[in-house]
Structures are given as structure tokens and as C-alpha cells.
Amino acid sequence: MALPTHGRFEYSPLPQRPDYSWPGNKRLAMYVALNIETFGFGMEVGPVLGNALPMPDQRAYSWREYGNRIGFWRLLELFDELKLPAAHLVNSYLYDTHPAIIEAIRKRGDELVGHGRTNSEKPGILKEADEKTLITEATAAITRYEGRAPAGWMTPMMMQSTVTPDLLKEAGYRYMMDWPCDDQPYWLRTRAGPLLYIPYPVETNDFGTTLQLHHGPVQFMDTVVRQFEEMIEQSARQPLVFALSLHTMIMGQPHRLRALRDGLRRILAHPRFDRVWLTRPGEIAAYCESLPAGTVPGS
């Protein structure tokens, strides 16, 4: 039996790849991604802390909405305090439901990454035409209000279909963040040409660790710091990407926010932090696009 494959990229062992450095001769690119999501009341799709209640489950909805009313603003204050740039993965319905959030991101000059219309729907189970409409509508909303299309995309819940990369490339996207199999960027094949993948974390992501593995905030941030410490050492041999993924309703809670602040301070005070390029995924993508062919896997 032939093992089914996606056909998007070839196997590329890390030690056999070309070496390169990030801008300023840095070795570790670091970015923080903040997921900002809006949900339909009474819709079944969405994260739940603890047990789910019968619909409309106002408790789960309200916990999610806490992230937009309180958590986002506390996290933004922390980013300002620590002088951290950020990339915000935004549902396009936020322009209608929470416009003040978008205005705050715009004022800060951070990157907006396409993240579907709402996390109350599952893009990966849609028919191709319906998924194309979803991507088109989400992209058009950001373009209309920001004056330019987003460069990157993260599918809600990372729930792609078999044709999502094709649809993204055809919609004009330059990179996506949904195939977490590497610590370096790599190029995927699509029917419309190559599409770049920017490393996005699963294990330094507060969603799975909190809601599925039930890690407390101190344990989660200890994991994040250990990840950083190991990667800063490994980056002496290969350029790497260290990313931290947060959700407003999770790390925006006061007790988790305190652990996040402490962990980020430990990272920023690391004696080898001078090797770090503190950036955003769109800037990583632009730099990879400028490198000679054959440098980034798949190019």
C-alpha cells in the first residue's frame, strides 16, 4: 500500500539545510501572536473552560467575551510595558462587533493576520466554494478598513481542508501558519505557486496546554521559557523561529497574566538575548522572500 501524502513539500532534515542569519546577524527570530476572536451567541463551536452547558451556554460565551472586554486590553498594556511588537490573528467580524480592538491594534502599528470571519465556524469541513467565500470575505474586510490586504493567514482552530493552501495562494496570501512541523520557515506547493509557512507553535500555545493538557499558568510559562532557552542555544547552529501564541480569554485572565509577565521578563533578560530578532511573522516572511533560491526549504 502506498502511504497517502499531501504533496505540499519534501522531507528536509534540518542538519542538511543551508545556514543563514536573520537581519542584524541575529540567530533566533521571536514573535508573539495574539488570537483575537469573536463568537456567535448560542453557536456550538468555540472553546469551553470546564464542562459545556446546554445551548446557548451563556457561561462559555461570556468567558470567551471576557477576552475581548478585559483580557485583550490587559495584554496590550503588558506588550507596551515590555516594548513587545505583536501579530494579532483577527476574525474579520471584529470590525463589526468589537471595532475598538481593531483601532487599538492599528494605533500600535502591529501586524494583522487573517483568521477567518469568526471562530464559531469550521472552515475545514466546508465545500471548496464556501471556504473560498469565507477567505474572500475575511480578506476583503481587512483590506477595506486597513487599506491593504493581510500578508498572512491562520485558519480558525487550524482546521484546514485539503485545498486551503491553494485557496490562500489564489487569494493573494504570501504566508500561512497552519502546518506546524518545523522550526524554520519553508515553502509549500500550491496549484497557484509557492506559499510560505511561518512557524507557529502548538506546545507554546496557551490554548491546548490550558484547555486540553490542563497546565497551570506557571507550568505553561516555565515550558515557554525552557523552549526559549533551548532554542537560543540551538540557533548557534541553525537560524530558528521561536513563537508564543496567546488567546485573550486565556492569558488575559489576571492570574495567568502575572505568570506571563514574569516569564516574558525572564526571556527578555536572558544573557544571550542580543542574538534575538524581536519581530512579527510578516517581517520574517518578507526576509525569507529576499533570500537566494535554495536557502529556504522548498525554494
What CA–CA distance (Å, rounded) separates 163 from 183? 24
Q: Which stretches does DSSP call E strand in 1-138?
A: 28-36, 87-90, 111-114
Weakest-pLDDT range from 43-47, 166-170, 251-255:
43-47
Q: Does 279 reside within a domain?
A: yes
Residue 265 C-alpha cell reads as: 521578563
Weakest-pLDDT range from 174-178, 208-212, 240-244, 285-289:
208-212
Weakest-pLDDT range from 40-44, 190-194, 240-244, 260-264:
40-44
Q: Residue 138: which pLDDT band, with cuts at 50, 70 and 90?
A: very high
Q: What sign does the CA torsion over 42, 142, 167, 162 have?
A: negative
Looking at the structure of the chain, the number of domains it has is 1
For range 218-247, the mean pLDDT: 98
User: pTM to 2 decimals?
Assistant: 0.96
For range 193-215, the mean pLDDT: 95
Over the chain, what is the mean pLDDT? 97
Amino acid code (one letter) for 101:
I
The DSSP secondary-structure symbol of 24 reads G
pLDDT in the model for residue 179: 97
CATH assignment of the domain containing 158: 3.20.20.370
For range 234-250, the mean pLDDT: 98
Report the residue count for the chain. Answer: 299
Q: Does 1 reside within a domain?
A: no
Q: Helix or strand or coil: residue 232? A: helix
Cis geometry, peptide bond prior to residue 123 (ω within 30 degrees of 0): no
Q: Does 298 reside within a domain?
A: no
| In the predicted structure, residue 50 carries a pLDDT above the cut 90 | no
Residue 152 C-alpha cell reads as: 498572512
pLDDT in the model for residue 245: 98
Q: Does 181 reside within a domain?
A: yes
For range 261-287, the mean pLDDT: 98
pLDDT in the model for residue 68: 98
Give residue-wise pLDDT tens across range 90-114: 999 999 999 999 999 999 999 999 9
Q: Residue 162: which pLDDT band, with cuts at 50, 70 and 90?
A: very high
Residue owning grid cell 521571536 = 30
Q: Residue 206: which pLDDT band, with cuts at 50, 70 and 90?
A: very high
Q: Does 77 reside within a domain?
A: yes
What CA–CA distance (Å, rounded) separates 152 from 196? 9
Q: Does 226 reside within a domain?
A: yes
Q: Does 10 reside within a domain?
A: no
| In the predicted structure, residue 203 carries a pLDDT above the cut 90 | yes
pLDDT in the model for residue 23: 98
- Count of other CB atoms within 10 angstroms of residue 78: 19
Residue owning grid cell 475598538 = 100
> For residue 130, what is the enclosing H or E element?
helix 128-146
For range 222-235, the mean pLDDT: 98
- Note down the domain range covering 252: 20-42+54-290
Give residue-wise pLDDT tens across range 61-83: 999 999 999 999 999 999 999 99
Q: Does 4 reside within a domain?
A: no
243-266: b (≥16 Cβ within 10 Å) or e? bbbbbbbbbbbeebbebbbebbee
